Amino acid sequence: MKKIDRLPPAIFFSLIVCGIPNILGSCSDHVTNITSSDSGRSKVDAAISCTPNGLTVIDSTLYMKGGGSEFKKTIINQQKVPAAMPPGMVWIPGGEFSMGAINPLRMSEGGHESMDDARPVHRVRVNGFFIDATEVTNGEFAAFVKATGYITIAETKPTKEEFPNAPDANLVAGSVVFTPTAVADLNDHYQWWNYIHGADWKHPQGPLSDIAGKDDYPVVHVAWEDAAAYAKWAGKRLPTEAEWEFAARGGKAGELYAWGNQLRPNGKWMANTYQGKFPEYDIGSDGFAGIAPVKQFPANAYGLYDVAGNVWEWCSDWYRQDYYESLAGKISENPKGPSDSYDPAEPDQKKKVQRGGSFLCTDQYCTRYMMGTRGKGEYRSASNHVGFRCVKDIF
């Protein structure tokens, strides 16, 4: 088995496990393997956001504890909608709201995961801003690449200087791809995440795939640095975590989902998530098995699409598990996040916040498409379930 020896703390991106034979070819051709004794194996967490904790079999059509008693009314700024609206963006008036999440009633540890990093719920004020109505698409990212010649991190070959102990055969450009597989233990998430050589934004499943006819799909395999580069080129920026949550809530306060407290109001699917047996097969009851084009599900009250499910979205903030504790008992004005990153699960990794969940979210494994919940990812890592949207200041 191929193996990468100990990866340095300042990783270029994740080189991670092959749990089963690659669907695009043999593991020896496209996928880097890492043994369980190798410290690099743990780097799978750099590219994913969900792990199980207290799994139960229970439907998430539930209500927040006490009807959301920790949440106070959202106060919307009384500011006129700007006359000039940037194309593809919507105006968010800003205001004061309760940010964060609590464990829903009867849900074990917050829907199979502890929401400790999203507590305590605290008050935040944000100024008005414009935000993309959808996640940045393949077509939009292609225009950026055509105009600038930009090369993403996933397309860049790792160097011997960055990985001095890695075999030359493993120093191949690529990215992290979800690969459906039958498993017995959901605690071993290495089984369904593969580092595939040649996977990038133009080849989301690996070198034999492409994005022909998918201009309206969210771009994926973009690391935080790639997303920030696009935003700068477009005259925009990545949203702060507070801006993202204010916009995603759509003026609501404490609801479990972006659209309310029921997962499927009147039996209607409201987001692209995973149905079936995770991670073996997605039956696509919501209309899509895997990633979906943008605008396939109802927009929230502000006109934003896919703020739950489809793909995770990068925010500008560094991730610290304990950051919200520093904001308790006061009203924070336009918070931009902590000055550094710290995840006790992987203290050597520099991580940025991700929000919204993805098409891999499921009540069997990951429910972080719920409002106020948080994800995180190593800022130079990418995968096929993480994208982004941008914001723009009014002045």
Most confident segment among 82-91, 135-144, 248-257? 135-144
Q: Give the pLDDT confidence of 6-22 residue by residue, as tens digits.
A: 233 333 333 332 222 23
Closest C-alpha among 129, 126, 124 to residue 71: 124
What is the band of 135 on the pLDDT scale with cuts at 50, 70, 90? very high
pLDDT band per the 50, 70, 90 thresholds, residue 24 = very low
Residue 45: per-residue pLDDT: 46
How many CA atoms within 13 Å lie on the side-chain side of 314? 33
Q: How confident is the model at residue 189 (pLDDT cuts 50, 70, 90)?
A: confident
pLDDT surpasses 70 at 62: no
Q: Is 301 exposed, middle or buried (0-12, 13-18, 19+ CB in 10 A)?
A: exposed
At 97-130, the pLDDT tens digits run 999 988 665 554 444 455 789 999 999 999 999 9
Tell me the per-residue pLDDT of 227-246, one tens digit each, with 9 for 90 and over.
999 999 999 999 999 999 99
- Residue 91: per-residue pLDDT: 98
Higher-scoring residue by pLDDT: 54, 149: 149
DSSP category for residue 380: T
Q: How far is CA 250 from CA 101, 200, 299, 303, 305, in A?
A: 16, 33, 10, 8, 11
For 164, how many CA atoms within 13 A lie in the half-sphere containing its CB?
Answer: 4
pLDDT at 43 over 50: no
Three-state DSSP at 128 gives: coil
Give the DSSP letter of residue 81: P
Instruction: State which H helix or E strand residue 281 sits in.
Output: strand 281-282
- Could you tell me where the beta strands, DSSP code E, fall in 50-153? 75-76, 89-92, 95-99, 122-126, 129-132
- Mean pLDDT is highest, among 71-85, 97-111, 335-349, for 335-349
Q: What is the pLDDT of residue 187?
A: 78
Q: What is the mean pLDDT of the chain?
A: 83
Strands 331-333 and 89-92: unpaired
Give dist(CA 227, CA 157) in Å, integer.
19
Residue listed under structure tokens 């194309």: 87
- Where are the chain's structural domains? 58-143+213-392
Using one digit for the tens of pLDDT, what is the confidence trace for 141-153? 999 999 999 999 9
Residue 331 or 67, more confident:
331
Note whether 34 and 41 are within 8 A (CB).
Answer: yes
Task: Domain 58-143+213-392: state its class.
Answer: alpha beta
| pLDDT, tens digit, 9 for 90 and up, residues 245-287 | 999 999 999 888 999 988 899 999 999 999 999 999 999 999 9
The amino acid sitting at 147 is A
* Integer Cα distance of 254 and 252 in angstroms: 7
